[in-house]
């Protein structure tokens, strides 16, 4: 499989590095408007490959994306002083218009994997601009938030996070919804398992984990300026599922006809991922409060996306 990455900054390069370490792709091509950055990132990552895989990593232009099964889009512009969030989204939509046009000109069959923030809105923008089926324009969504949720639960329960099945839904952002009611560990509901291992899920524990998930990005950004390793690994995991036609389930963002009575809207719920992209969507059982929170998240995202005017 050939993988393209447009945007060789910290997120794009971390995704390329993680995918290379997994050996998922035969070849990875990094494209960036700053050619020197793409060349430097590709060379640095390629030097790590002898320790991990036979993946070829190189820099190139859009023409070098021909034959790519998946193209990660991690491109965008920063906010100017005094610029509103909506104005910033409008400028990033124009960046996406150019980038997506270039990609699809050389590789119209590629699956687009969106990593640029705000990822749900940019996934909606990419779907409108590309006119591709929704299942082939995939936002990383809450895959990282879900990983954070499972990680913090596993620490509390003192078990591996691989045995924790819990999801974060809705926006990758402040309105996201931790779906506590459906969380399971092994074959048991979360509360039952927690009772058996003498680690009850009290309200204080719930509040601490909720804050740990919801505020994680802010803490990391305060400490080192940006988050990239976690999402890089998440993107590489999605790419691996596509490459192997795994039909794995992740919380990912695509434009969906209706979620919690709102739509069409791009947000995260559990999705089945295979060679063709998103194969199907899973509708989780939620309690009344969670469903209402998901509806509010969906309404916020739809209002913002519609305001861009694409």
CB 178 within 8 A of CB 149: yes
Cβ neighbours of residue 159 under 8 Å, at least 6 residues apart?
185, 197
Cβ neighbours of residue 204 under 8 Å, at least 6 residues apart?
none
- Residue 217 tokens, joined: 């990005």
Active-site residue, selected from the candidate residues 47, 162, 167, 172 = 172
Pick from 68, 63, 251, 285: which is nearest to 181 by CA? 285
The three-class DSSP label of residue 28 is: strand
Q: Rounded CA gap, 241 and 66, in Å?
A: 21
How far is the CA of 42 from the CAs of 201, 217, 234, in angstroms? 45, 26, 20
For strands 2-6 and 27-31, give the pairing: parallel
Active site residue 172: yes
Catalytic amino acids?
172
């Amino acid at each position: 499989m050939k993988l393209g990455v447009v945007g060789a900054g910290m997120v794009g390069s971390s995704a390329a590095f993680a995918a290379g370490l997994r050996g998922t792709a035969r070849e990875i091509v990094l494209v960036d408007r700053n050619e020197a950055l793409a060349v430097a990132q590709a060379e640095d990552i390629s030097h790590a490959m002898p320790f991990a895989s036979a993946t070829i990593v190189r820099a190139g232009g859009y023409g070098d994306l021909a034959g790519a099964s998946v193209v990660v889009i991690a491109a965008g512009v920063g906010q100017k002083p005094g610029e509103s969030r909506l104005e910033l989204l409008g400028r990033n939509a124009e960046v996406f218009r150019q980038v997506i046009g270039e990609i699809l000109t050389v590789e119209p069959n590629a699956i687009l994997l969106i990593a640029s923030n705000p990822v749900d809105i940019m996934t909606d923008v990419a779907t409108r601009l590309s006119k591709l089926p929704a299942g082939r324009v995939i936002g990383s969504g809450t895959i990282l938030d879900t990983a954070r949720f499972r990680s913090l639960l596993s620490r509390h329960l003192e078990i591996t996070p691989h045995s924790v099945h819990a999801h974060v839904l809705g926006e990758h952002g402040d309105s996201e919804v931790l779906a506590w009611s459906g969380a399971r560990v092994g074959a048991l509901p979360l509360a039952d398992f927690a009772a058996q291992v003498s680690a009850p899920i009290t309200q204080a524990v719930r509040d601490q984990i909720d804050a740990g998930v919801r505020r994680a990005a802010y803490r990391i950004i305060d400490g080192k300026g940006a988050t990239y390793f976690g999402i890089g690994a998440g993107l590489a995991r999605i790419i691996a599922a596509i490459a192997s036609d795994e039909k794995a389930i992740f919380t990912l963002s695509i434009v969906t006809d209706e979620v919690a009575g709102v739509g069409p809207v791009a947000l995260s719920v559990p999705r089945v991922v295979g060679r063709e992209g998103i194969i199907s969507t899973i509708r989780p059982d939620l309690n009344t409060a969670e469903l209402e929170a998901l509806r509010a998240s969906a309404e916020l995202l739809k209002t913002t996306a519609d305001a861009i005017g694409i």
